[in-house]
Amino acid sequence: MKREKALVVFSGGQDSTTCLFWAIKNFGEVEVVTFNYGQRHVFEIECAKQIANELNVHHHILDMSLLNQLAPNALTRAEIEVKEGAEGELPSTFVPGRNLLFLSFAGVLARQINAKHIITGVCETDFSGYPDCRDIFIKSLNVTLNLSMDESFVIHTPLMWLNKAETWALADELGAFNDVREKTLTCYHGIKADGCGECPACKLRLQGMHTYLHNKQNIQED
C-alpha cells in the first residue's frame, strides 16, 4: 500500500486523527476531507485545518449543510440537549445518514483524486449504538460504492474493533499520542484537548486514556 493513495474522512477529533497518522504510515500519499454540516462548534473544522496543515496533507472541506436541514440533532442545534439514549433509543447526538452521506461523497472525491483507499474512524466497540458505525454497514456501503461507480475502492476502518484504551495505544504506537491528546476536539461542548470532562464523548475519551496509561505503567513496571 506504500505506493497507493488514500483519502481520510477527517473531523479533527481523536479517532479520525489517529486514522490520519495510521494512513500516513501505511500509504504513499494521503489527503483528507472534512464535512461542514453545520455542526454547532465550527472550531472542530479549525482543529482539522490546523492538524492537516501541520502534517502537510491536502485538505478538502465540503459543504454538507443539507444534512443540518434534514436531521436536526444535538450536534447541530444548541437548543437540543446532549444526552445518552434511554433504553432502546439512540443518543441525541446521532445524526441520521451522516456516515452514509459522508462516505458516499468521500467516494466521489476519491474517484476525482484517484485514491482507491478511503479511511474512516468508525468503531463498533465503543460506538454509542450508532447504526452507521457498524462493520456490516461499512462493508455493505463499500460494495454499493464500487457498484455505483464501477470502481474498486477499499474502505479501511483501523479502529473498528478497538476500544478507546486500544485507540490511545494505537496513537502512541504511531508516535502521535501527544498530538492526538493536545490538538484534537472530541468534546460535544467544543472544548479542545481533554475537553469538558462531562459530556459522553469526553467521558469515553478520558476513561480510555486513563485505562491505557494505567496499563502502560503496569507493563513498564513489570
Q: pLDDT class for 121, splitting at 50, 70, 90? A: very high
pTM of the model: 0.90
Q: Which residue has the higher pLDDT, 24 or 80?
A: 24
Residue 5 has pLDDT above 60, yes or no: yes
Please report the pLDDT score of residue 92 as a whole number: 55
Rounded to a whole number, what is the distance in angstroms from the first to the last CA of the chain?
36
Set of cell numbers at residue 201: 464523548
Of 129, 112, 134, whose CA–CA distance to 120 is shortest?
A: 134
Neighbouring C-alpha atoms within 13 Å toward the C-beta of 6 = 25
Cell numbers describing residue 110: 476519491
In whole angstroms, give the CA distance from residue 80 to residue 93: 9
Give the mean pLDDT of the chain: 88
Q: Cα 218 to the chain's mean position, in Å?
A: 29
In sequence order, what DSSP letters do the residues of 96-122 get, joined into one string? TTHHHHHHHHHHHHHHHHT--EEE---
Span 33-38, mean pLDDT?
91
pLDDT of the residue at 84:
62
Residue 210 has pLDDT above 60, yes or no: yes
Per-residue confidence at 79, pLDDT binned at 50, 70, 90? Answer: low
Q: Of how many residues is the chain composed?
A: 222
Position 68 confidence tier, pLDDT thresholds 50, 70, 90: confident
Instruction: Give Cβ neighbours of residue 140 (< 8 Å, ≥ 6 apart).
Output: none
Q: What is the pLDDT of residue 41?
A: 67
The CATH number of domain 5-221, selected from 3.40.50.10790, 3.40.630.30, 3.40.50.720, 3.40.50.620: 3.40.50.620
